[in-house]
Amino acid sequence: MTHSAILIEHCRVCNATHLEPILSLGQMPLANSLLTEAELALPEPTYPLELVFCPACSLVQITATVPPELLFREYLYFSSFSDTMLHHSREIVEQLIRTRGLGPDSLVMEIASNDGYLLQYFVNAKIPVLGIEPAQNIARVAQERGVRTISEFFNAQLATTLQARGELADVIFANNVLAHVADLHGVIEGIRLLLKKDGVAVIETPYVKDMIDRSEFDTIYHEHLCYYSLTALQQLFKSHDLAISAVERISIHGGSLRLYVTHPGAVSSWNTVQDLLAEEAVWGVRRLDFYQNFADKVKRLEVTLTDILKGLKLQGRKIAAYGAAAKGSTLLNAFNIDNELLDFVVDRSTYKQGRYMPGCHLPIYAPTNLLKQMPDYVLLLTWNFAEEILEQQVEYRRRGGRFITCIPVIKVV
């Protein structure tokens, strides 16, 4: 069953009309739409998942825009279930409190603040916060833990309302959100409106070069509309009279950029920005040939992985998967991996347990099921948290269980 989505005719950043195809994953279900048992018999909506490249500004993007209300009003990803995300968040919070002298008279905002996983550390330090989280079920969890949160989509209109109430921010976080927003220019304009004159927006987003280099095709799904280079981001912020004052490459989520965005004229580490822009020019950020072999790399990965899984099943091996995340959904459905090759999926999130993966309909259980059923192998779908998961599953491994990772390369651990 196919529901309509809006298909773009122009680049989401620069409005150019010439977009080059990179990769087609065909019709795919929504990656985070985990199913209840009752929903298994119902028709499942699918949407085209096509990746294209804009030579004018370097933005890599998908062509279909699924209505945000459908994607985000009820959501099953809770950041606090990841120890890695909590540690990562606590580090940047402590750094900013120290370097920017934040205190009781400051205000920290986060766009797409999820369950308060990050803002809670400011609350603990008695620093006022405001989270903006469209998923109502997740916003309730944040409020219950004392994180002031409004359940709305962030845009220029909401920012104007907050500005009129005097809610201006010393720090605005937008972590792993710029990829998700259809109203991209509205979000950036909203940041400009709410950022104090000497404030900073700290923005993290997966880096397109890491995605291409490491064959991270499973980060492509309908929620992720854009895959950024610094070149594309600079053009986006410049169009709203904001400056990228500094940039860092960080390892989270398979390789990301952390931007420090300010009003023009703020103190900056401009050399970090200039250096990375120069690097991007060298590897061909605006040239189609850098992206053209991506589809071939994905196809080779599919053939190799499915051959391994089929070989293990022929030997009578039992195989499970770890991680009912969106990237897992993309990989399983793009490679047509279902209950003929896998027996079940486990996930640490209690909100996902008892549901079923979209498309392939594999059941989702708690990680304790690995010890109960002792599959011979576990396909690690959430490879971005591999170290954390392997540490948590030391007993399963001690008993002889083995993990298969497939990105960036296939290996058995």
> Which CATH number fits the domain that encloses residue 135?
3.40.50.150
Provide, rounded to the nearest whole percent, the portion of the chain with pLDDT above 70: 96
Q: Are residues 245 and 325 in the same domain?
A: no
* Amino acid 404: pLDDT: 96
Q: Is residue 172 part of a domain?
A: yes
Residue 106, domain member (yes or no)? yes
With vertex at residue 212, the alpha carbon angle to CA 312 and CA 301, rounded to the nearest 5 degrees, is 15
For residue 127, give Cα distances in angstroms to 175, 321, 412: 19, 41, 45
Please state the pTM of the whole predicted model. 0.90
Q: According to the model, what pLDDT value does residue 1 have?
A: 42
State whether 271 and 316 are in the same domain.
Answer: no
Report whether pLDDT(40) > 90: yes
- Single out the residue in 262, 291, 320 at which a domain terminates: 291
Closest CA relative to residue 406, chosen from 336, 288, 303: 303
Average pLDDT over residues 136-157: 93
Give CA–CA dist 247/140, Å, rounded.
Answer: 33
Tell me whether the omega of the peptide bond preceding residue 367 falls within 30 degrees of 0, making it cis.
no
Q: Where are the alpha helices (DSSP H) in 151-194?
A: 156-164, 184-194
Domain count, the chain: 2
In a domain, 313, yes or no: yes
Give 76's pLDDT tier (boundaries 50, 70, 90).
low
* 395 falls within a domain: yes
How does pLDDT run across 333-375, given as a tens digit for each residue? 999 999 999 999 999 989 899 999 999 999 999 999 999 999 9
User: Tens of pLDDT along 383-404?
Assistant: 888 888 999 999 999 999 999 9
* Last-in-domain residue among 270, 291, 312: 291
Residues 237 and 93 occupy one common structural domain: yes
Sign of CA dihedral 238, 122, 72, 53: positive
Residues in the chain: 413
Residue 283 lies in a domain: yes
Per-residue model confidence (pLDDT) at position 89:
83
Eight-class DSSP state of 253: G
Tell me whether residue 3 is in a domain: no
What are the pLDDT digits (tens) for 268-324? 666 899 999 999 999 999 999 999 999 999 999 999 999 999 999 999 999 999 999
Is 108 in the same domain as 235?
yes
pLDDT at 83: 73
Domain with 398 in it: what CATH number? 3.40.50.720
Do 263 and 305 have their domain in common? Answer: no
Instruction: State the DSSP H helix or E strand holding residue 291, giving kind and residue range, or none if neither.
Output: helix 288-292
262 shares its domain with 149: yes
Residue 84 has pLDDT above 90, yes or no: no
Instruction: Clarify whether residues 132 and 226 are in a common domain.
Output: yes
Coil, helix or strand at residue 299: helix
Is the same domain home to 116 and 181? yes
Within-domain flag for 16: no
pLDDT exceeds cutoff 90 at 70? no
Q: Whole domain around residue 118: which residue ranges?
A: 79-291
What's the average model confidence in pLDDT over 138-148? Answer: 93
Above 70 in pLDDT, residue 79?
no
Q: How far is CA 368 from the centre of its chain?
A: 26
Tell me: do 361 and 404 sit in the same domain: yes
Domain boundary among 268, 291, 314: 291
374 and 309 fall within a common domain: yes
Per-residue pLDDT at 73 exceeds 60: no
Res. 265 pLDDT band, cuts 50 70 90: confident
3-state SS, residue 214: coil
In this prediction, residue 135 has a pLDDT band, given cuts at 50, 70 and 90, of confident
Residue 28 falls within a domain, yes or no? no
Q: Are residues 347 and 285 in the same domain?
A: no
Same domain, 393 and 286: no
- 221 pLDDT more than 80: yes
Q: What is the mean pLDDT of the chain?
A: 92
Instruction: Give the DSSP letter string of 58-99.
Output: --EEESEE--HHHHHSS----GGG-HHHHHHHHHHHHHHHHH
What are 323's two structure tokens?
Answer: 């991680």
